[in-house]
Amino acid sequence: MTGFLELARQRRSVRSFDDNMPEKAILDQLKEFAETITNPYGVKVRFVFLDAKEHKLSSPVLTGEKIYVSAIVGKESHAEEGYGYSFEKLLMKAQELGLGNVWIGGTMPREKFEKASGLAENEVMPCVSPLGAPAKRMSVKETLMRKGVKADTRMSFEELFFEGDFSKPLTERFAKENGLYDDLEAVRIAPSAVNKQPWRIVIDGKKAHFYEKHDKGFLTPDYDLQKIDLGIALYHFESQMLSEMRAPKLSVEDPGINTPDGVDYVATYTF
């Protein structure tokens, strides 16, 4: 186990915080990092740090949080993939700095957050996250929430990943023999909305084709929440490859592989 995967394994959604404002020096470090974040799509993602008390912000699934970060993107092509990639990059950095966090795309008073973030006409703010030190114990509602979405489990390699096309499930053994285990595992353990794990990957030689398996209820008039999950998956895959000193390159060029119903091509990493 190397590099990014180690950090990804330590990650979990944090919904119970310790009631303290994070240290200013740590927050400043995160804010500085936020300014440097880019994604392979060249989509600009804007981050706004919000004091919960000042803006009277809260979420029904959270306790003890003092600060939020909201992420905003323009309505443009590939906005969701770029958004997922960039916001996950920020949240993984937050975790590295000791700040627990959780993607929140549904359980929040959306208008209040949008107003506090200064959302413009041509922009959307699909998700926000609290930032802070995790509480010593999870709140009862956090424990229930994790049970409800089976947050501690994930689908198997064979269900998520394929060899050549969708007719041949990819095994852990194949992944290990082909030096892809850590990279695929980094995707498998990623966060996703309602833990639906909509990412599917077809490995074809030195290419990893990423697909989205749509579930009902994730499309809004402005964006597809599950495509944001795909952006998160792309970030996890690329980050693990980079920590193995590989040089994955993203392209969007549908290889024309037959897809099951409700499964759409998203992007390819060549490594």
Residue 264 vs residues 38, 77, 166, 180, 269: alpha-carbon distances, Å: 25, 16, 12, 23, 16
Q: In this chain, which of 193, 202, 230, 267 binds ligand FMN, going by CB under 6 A? A: 193
Which residue number, 203 or 238, has a Cβ lying nearer to ligand FMN?
238
For position 263 contacting ligand FMN by CB under 6 A, the verdict is no
> Tokens 């880019």 appear where?
38
Residue 208 vs residues 34, 38, 196, 219, 257: alpha-carbon distances, Å: 28, 21, 20, 25, 12
Query: What string of H, E and C letters represents the secondary structure of 181-241?
Result: HHHHHHHHCCCCHHHCCCEEEEEECCEEEEEEECCCCCECCCCEHHHHHHHHHHHHHHHHH
Q: Which residue is nearest to ligand FMN (CB)?
A: 191
**Number of Cα atoms under 13 Å in the Cβ half of residue 68:** 26
Per-position x/- string for 203-242, each x denoting binding to ligand FMN as judged by CB under 6 A, each - no binding: ----------------------x--xx--x----------
For position 195 contacting ligand FMN by CB under 6 A, the verdict is yes
Which residue number, 39 or 174, has a Cβ lying nearer to ligand FMN?
39
Site for ligand FMN in 37-96 (CB under 6 A): 61
| Nearest-angstrom CA–CA distance, 164 and 139 | 44
| Nearest-angstrom CA–CA distance, 71 and 86 | 9
Per-position x/- string for 126-145, each x denoting binding to ligand FMN as judged by CB under 6 A, each - no binding: -x-----------------x
Site for ligand FMN in 2-41 (CB under 6 A): 12-13
| Nearest-angstrom CA–CA distance, 130 and 68 | 4
Which residue number, 46 or 168, has a Cβ lying nearer to ligand FMN?
46
Which residue number, 12 or 246, has a Cβ lying nearer to ligand FMN?
12
Q: In this chain, which of 191, 227, 236, 237 binds ligand FMN, going by CB under 6 A? A: 191
Binding site for ligand FMN (CB under 6 A): 12-13, 61, 102-107, 127, 145, 149, 151, 191-195, 225, 228-229, 232
